[in-house]
Chain A
Amino acid sequence: MTTTGVLSAKLWIRRGSSADPCGQRGGHQLLASVLSRGCGPLDHLQLADLVEGCGAGLRCDTHEDGILISLKCRDVDADRLLPALGWMLRQPHLDEGQIELERDLSLQALQRQREDPFHRAFDGWRQLAYGRGPYGHDPLGIPVELEGLQREHLIELAGDLESLGSVLALSGTIPDQAYERLEEWLGSTTSQTNWQEPEAAFSHQSEVDPSAQSSLSLQPLATEQVVLMLGQAALPHGHPDDLALRLLQAHLGSGMSSLLFRRLREEHGVAYDVGVHHPARAAAAPFVMHASTGVDRAELSLDLLLSSWSELIEISLAEADLKLAKAKFRGQLAHGSQTTGQRAERRAQLRGLNLPDDHDKTCLNHLDQLGANDLRDAARRHLQCPQLSLCGPLDTLESLEKQWSLSGYAAGSSHG
């Protein structure tokens, strides 16, 4: 009763929502959601009985760059559960009724997401930055295209699931002879994999040229606050300038000593929740400042965000700020590898993005070589054209639109 041996397994499949075919946005998410609804020798109820009967957690999440299947269980149950990952990957049933149910649940989830003004603002920003490109839609999909997805579409997508390969990462109490038993758990692949060398990982950039696009998106909504998102599609994870942008992210938005926290919260008291969204992606990742603020202080908040952005390009960080940003970056890596799930996911993610296992260690070794001017120069190369998305009351958005048009970053606007 005191045994707490835990195994975390993360299976990263290099096909995510960015690989959704034209007219089938949401396809990979729908496929992922039905992988656990019947596969191999088990139907959807038998699989649920197996997983829940072991008290395990099994989930399937679709990201832009891949599908991540996560299993967490006690070590004593690993032998019974690990084969399910192989069945999901290689023998999904894709039952018509189960597809219909998941499609309906996805449509309802898309509808419910619209309650959140942050979500609406990010949707607007995503449209500006990526348009109809691979990162241009929510991984859940677009309602009208989701409605049209049928079993034959999913069969086609399932056939391609391993075309770019997949990675299984295990952490915790790992079963003996894991390498030798890989085929026992997962079966053998039925498709040709195409292993890419790390340097090929950032070959595809955003398909949208920001200079040719609108720079402003307005999402009118009867809320008390305005949500502001200012950002740019920046770099793939592992790009030579990625580390510089990660340090800028730490400087701007990580922790209570960060620039945005100090400036918007402590010096002006205009916002509660501020930060920078900068996920790790295979292609140009969002680098987005965000804040929400009362309508009467929205202009001041936008001013503060704009000046914070401009400083990245115009001014080198003070040595103390640079040192602090590096300490935060080191801390983030330590904080992000505390649990078996975190460690397995990071390993799977790195290989999923075709980066070497020692990528984080290499970054730590490079930290000392980066100076404040290097960060400023990286910002000049990659953060010159931010785009703004706003969600809130229409009259406030209109006044902010005028303010934006005078900012020097403006090029056009689109109304949601």
Chain B
Amino acid sequence: MGLCHGTLTAIPSGPVLDHRTLRNGSSLVTAAIPDAALTCLDFWCRGGSAWEKSGEEGVAHFLEHMVFKGSRSLGPGEFDRRIEALGGSSNAATGFDDVHYHVLVPTAESNEALDLLLDLVLDPALEQDSFCMERDVVLEEIAQYRDQPDDQVLQTLLELCCAPHSYGRPILGWETSLRQMDPAGMRRYHHRRYRGANCCLSVAGSIQEDLISHALSSPLAQLALVEDCDPAATNRSALPFRQGRECRRFARLEAARLLMVWPVACADDQLAIAGADLITTILAEGRRSRLVQKLREELQIVESIDMDVTTLEQGSLVMLEACCPDDQLERVETEIQAELQRSLSAEITDEEFQRAMQLVGNGHRFSLEAPGAVAASVGSQTLWGRHRDLLAPLQDLLQWEASSLRDRVMPLLQPQRSFTLIARSEDNS
């Protein structure tokens, strides 16, 4: 046996945050991780697919692609070359509520990276030729997802329970809507969403001395001062949800799936989200959780069973997914329903409660190491007006007791309140 040490790095407490609101309503937040060799710059915008109007389906994500095709001052590919020549990397992601663009660079290069990132995101070229080429890439991306049965099942479920709300349609949009788009329409969307109050820059890692003053005089500060007046922005708990149950068949499915989804609180209600995290951990996180122990360990009728909380601004979703042989589906559904119903009255034991507190709490503690993860967490919270310490979720957990979890959260996750999708293979029909 050999023993070797990695670098000695302790994190005595969460990174210290510094929040600023600029005159135009945009936000700047820094999370100092003094020992980090890299700095992450993460630009967030309230510009996810939920903000698309009729005929714009897919534009938020397509715009994210187009941003990387260059700005009025950065030629095609120049941003990527320059960031990667600095020893950095970049990427972006579009969600239902928001979109973010991030670069990770050695700390000494963060000023230059900031200039490049803001120029690229706030002043995209959106040229016709590259628009057509990139649309082909997005269509290939859609085709790639269509070839993954897992994604097909999930998308079907969201459509069945959330449509016509935007959470019920694919973030990537539809082929028809994408083919009807043009650069002018995309620019209108950019102008509408990428403006002061909708934007936040998050920086995590080692913070260079002059980075904040540099950011305060950057194009972020030049964005138009317009408050967000879209009704959806203030109507955050308006997610319509259809309860029910359906069976569908899918091509090339090698294992049957049972999915259940429930609507829970919107992201603003962080205390309720903490409760949902604790309950899903008690039910389906680890071998000692109720559903895993019963269905996988004792009855041995599922290959896997998971529950997750997807935190969303207009209403979060709790999802359960069980993978099992086709001939076990009926029994799996019966057992899950029985366990959820039993949990309405069964006491949550001290062991179960403490175990969930530790698992959820450590999930938060363990996520504070890498600048990229910290910048994403801080940026998404600040974007939506939640100026909270990174370890604030630990305080939320302490507000819950075993009895309040059972009495207030478990009733939300009952079979009759869910939408259930039974997914079987076409090949078995």
Contact = CB atoms under 8 A, between A and B. Distances in A.
Interface string A315-357: 0000000011001101100110111100110111001000001
Given A115-B254, A222-B251, A257-B77, A172 B84 contact: no
Contacts, number: 244
B13 interface: yes
Interface in B59-74: 68-69
A343 B7 contact: yes
Given A224-B147, A292-B144, 13 more contacts: A2-B394, A44-B287, A48-B288, A52-B287, A108-B255, A109-B303, A172-B6, A257-B84, A272-B144, A324-B81, A324-B85, A331-B84, A347-B6
B88 interface: yes
Contact of B358 (A53, A105, A112, A165): A53
B144 A273 contact: yes
Contacts of A1: 391, 394-395, 398
Most chain B beta-carbon neighbours within 10 Å: one of A108, A165, A267? A108
A48 B2 CA distance: 27
Given A1-B398, A178-B3, A338-B38, A117 B147 contact: yes
Contact of B286 (A52, A74, A186): A52
Interface string A144-163: 00000000000000000010
Given A52-B359, A55-B362, A223-B147, A265 B137 contact: yes
B12 interface: yes
B157 to A, nearest CB: 16
B287 A56 contact: no
Interface in B110-158: 130, 132-141, 143-144, 146-150
A111 B253 CA distance: 10
Interface of B: 1-14, 36-38, 68-69, 76-77, 80-81, 84-90, 104, 106, 130, 132-141, 143-144, 146-150, 251-255, 285-288, 296-297, 300, 303, 323, 325, 351, 354-355, 357-363, 365-366, 368-372, 391, 394-395, 398
Contact of A3 (B13, B36, B81, B147): B13
A182 interface: yes
Contacts of A265: 137
A348 B355 CA distance: 30
Contacts of B358: 52-55
B136 A255 contact: no
Q: Is the interface of A mostly helix, strand, loop or mixed?
A: mixed
Nearest to A73: B362
A255 B137 contact: no
Contacts of A346: 6
Interface of A: 1-6, 8, 44-45, 48-49, 51-57, 72-75, 101, 104-105, 108-109, 111-117, 162, 165-174, 178-179, 182, 186, 189, 193, 195, 221-225, 254-257, 262, 265-273, 292-294, 323-324, 327-328, 330-331, 334-335, 337-340, 343-344, 346-348, 351, 357
Contact of A2 (B13, B87, B143, B398): B13
B140 A4 contact: no
Contacts of B366: 6, 57, 72
B394 A115 contact: no
Contacts of B130: 266
Contact of A48 (B68, B150, B286, B371): B286
12 contacts: A2-B12, A2-B394, A45-B287, A52-B285, A116-B148, A166-B2, A178-B3, A223-B147, A224-B147, A269-B140, A339-B369, A346-B6
A182 B3 contact: yes
Contacts of A4: 11-14, 365, 368, 391
Given A115-B253, A340-B9, A330 B87 contact: yes
A272 B13 CA distance: 40
Contacts of B351: 49, 53
A193 B1 contact: yes
A79 B339 CA distance: 35
A172 B370 CA distance: 13
Most chain A beta-carbon neighbours within 10 Å: one of B36, B86, B137, B138? B137
Contact of B355 (A52, A101, A179, A186): A52
A114 to B, nearest CB: 5
Given A105-B303, A109-B303, A338-B371, A5 B12 contact: yes
B137 A224 contact: no
B6 A74 contact: no
Nearest to A347: B4
Contacts of B303: 105, 108-109, 112
Contacts of A101: 297, 300
A48 B144 contact: no
B6 A344 contact: yes
Contact of B3 (A179, A195, A328, A330): A179
A294 to B, nearest CB: 6
A4 B16 CA distance: 13
Nearest first, the 9 closest Cβ-Cβ pairs linking A and B are: A171-B6, A55-B358, A269-B136, A331-B87, A343-B6, A55-B362, A272-B141, A256-B80, A108-B303
Given A49-B288, A338-B371, A256 B6 contact: no
Given A2-B13, A108-B323, A225 B143 contact: yes
A112 B140 contact: no
Contacts of A57: 362, 366
A338 B85 contact: no
Contacts of B132: 269
A338 B84 CA distance: 17
A56 B12 contact: no
A5 to B, nearest CB: 5
Contacts of A328: 84, 87
A378 B88 CA distance: 26
B288 A111 contact: no
Contact of A6 (B38, B365, B391): B365
A323 B371 contact: no
Contacts of A112: 254-255, 303, 323
Contact of B254 (A2, A114, A179): A114
Contacts of A165: 1-2
B176 to A, nearest CB: 16
Contacts of A174: 5, 8
B90 A271 contact: no
Nearest to A7: B10
A1 B90 CA distance: 34
A1 B361 CA distance: 9
